[in-house]
Amino acid sequence: MRVLVISDIHANYTALKAVINDAGQVDETWCLGDLVGYGPDPNAVVEQVRDFPHLTCIMGNHDMAALGRMALESFNADARRSLMWTEKVLTADNMDFLRSVPQATKVRGEVTMAHGSPRDPLWEYVLNTLTARLNFDHFDTPFCFIGHSHIQSLFKLSEGNDRVTLESTKVNRPITLMPRTLVNPGSVGQPRDRDPRAGYAIYDTETRQWEARRVEYHVSEVQKRLREAGLPEKHAARLSEGW
């Protein structure tokens, strides 16, 4: 089964469409959360995700905050401003969809899915081997797919010596995942690894093959809509350089 793995779309519809076009035909879509926040297209993004056939979706921290279920004081000033705007413009149907997705981890076959991490699904960033090692104790499947950091990454646990290594994932070079692995597809709508292209992955459930991908999109179009909506300039500027 060929699966499109996406995360952290952050209301960037132009980037999401580029990913869909680049990915081609897939059997399922797994979305690791944060459909909204930061970007100018929350309704278009949620509606697109809702329309995916054979969708599995979990909640991100920005999704929860937009629903009024998380204190906005938990976010920085620019993120709060974006979330307040998002809460005002989201339609009732799209709010209902966000309410329907689980905020805890989700298991599909050999994969545990979490937005932040398996031990803290909404908030924890897995950015280093120490944090990754602590999280291997919180899922039992061979693999765990996470988002939240906006960085394509792969952490591998060697059960022989109980050590975790951070390994590179090269774009368009498929690799076979070996148990136990914790892997991040990157961010569709707001990459933070100095590569402004939209990030995602293709996963084959039968061969365990993981392919990290990047695709260019019209960043200037999104920046224009951000500015027209009166959203923070920082959220427009960072899209150009992926930070």
Q: In this predicted structure, what is the pLDDT of residue 66? A: 97
Dihedral of the CA atoms 68, 89, 105, 180 (nearest 10)? -130
Q: Which residues contact 171 (CB under 8 A, 6 or more apart)?
A: 152, 212, 213, 214
Q: In this predicted structure, what is the pLDDT of residue 184? A: 98
The CATH number of residue 182's host domain is 3.60.21.10
Summarised one tens digit per residue, pLDDT across range 173-183 is 999 999 999 99
Average pLDDT, the chain: 97
Residues 243, 237: Cα–Cα separation, whole Å: 9
Nearest to 9 by CA among 165, 187, 217: 187
For the segment 227-239, the average pLDDT, to the nearest whole number, is 97
Domain range for residue 24? 2-240
Q: CA of 210: how far to CAs of 17, 22, 172, 196, in Å?
A: 21, 16, 10, 21
Q: Which residues contact 59 (CB under 8 A, 6 or more apart)?
A: 33, 98, 101, 102, 103, 115, 122
200, 19 in Cβ contact below 8 A? yes
For the segment 69-79, the average pLDDT, to the nearest whole number, is 94
Summarised one tens digit per residue, pLDDT across range 14-52 is 999 999 999 999 999 999 999 999 999 999 999 999 999
Q: In this predicted structure, what is the pLDDT of residue 83? A: 97
Q: In this predicted structure, what is the pLDDT of residue 4? A: 99
Asked if residue 55 has pLDDT above 90, the reply is yes
Task: pLDDT band for 169, please (50, 70, 90 cuts).
Answer: confident
Q: In this predicted structure, what is the pLDDT of residue 138? A: 98
For the segment 133-155, the average pLDDT, to the nearest whole number, is 98
Q: In this predicted structure, what is the pLDDT of residue 140? A: 97
By percentage, how much of the chain surpasses pLDDT 70?
100
Q: In this predicted structure, what is the pLDDT of residue 232? A: 97
Provide the number of structural domains found in the chain: 1
| Amino acid letter for position 37 | G
Angle (CA) 35-37-39 rounded to 5° is: 95
